[in-house]
Amino acid sequence: MSWMDNNPSVLRWGSEEVVILYKSPIDNKKHRYYVDFIMDIKDKTGKIRTVLIEVKPKKQCKPPVKPEKKTKTYLMESRTWAVNQAKWEAAKKVAESRGWEFQIITEDQLFKKD
């Protein structure tokens, strides 16, 4: 968050300000998803872009590897993956409808060494 505060390209940011409704594939009910961040960014061309950002561990950004025997861990990871996919699809649709962008960032971007 200090990166956003100290970056002159970030004009405005907020945490968990955008609420997105999504339908969970687990219980087939509607739920609320609070996107981690919203930022207004001035890019190198001077264009102002609004970006929704979700921060997730890299492990949760790909489907779990199916083991020979279904374990509790695998089942939990599968549920997490399914719910995340539903959330992210809903977020992409909302962002697109408003002319915004949606990005998922992981520890690779957060701890990138320049």
Using 50 as the pLDDT threshold, list the residues of the chain that sit under it.
none
Residue 36 belongs to a domain: yes
Whether 26 is in a domain gets the answer yes
Residue that the structure tokens 């890019």 belong to: 43
The pLDDT of residue 113: 65
* Domains of the chain: total: 1
The dihedral of CA 101, 106, 107, 113: what is its sign?
negative
Domain residues for 69?
Answer: 2-107
State pTM to two decimals. 0.86
Beta strands in 16-99, from DSSP E residues, in sequence order:
19-23, 30-34, 37-42, 48-55
113 is a domain residue:
no
Report the distance separating Cα 17 and Cα 78, nearest Å: 28
pLDDT the model gives residue 38: 97
Residue 57: predicted pLDDT: 92
pLDDT score recorded for residue 1: 78
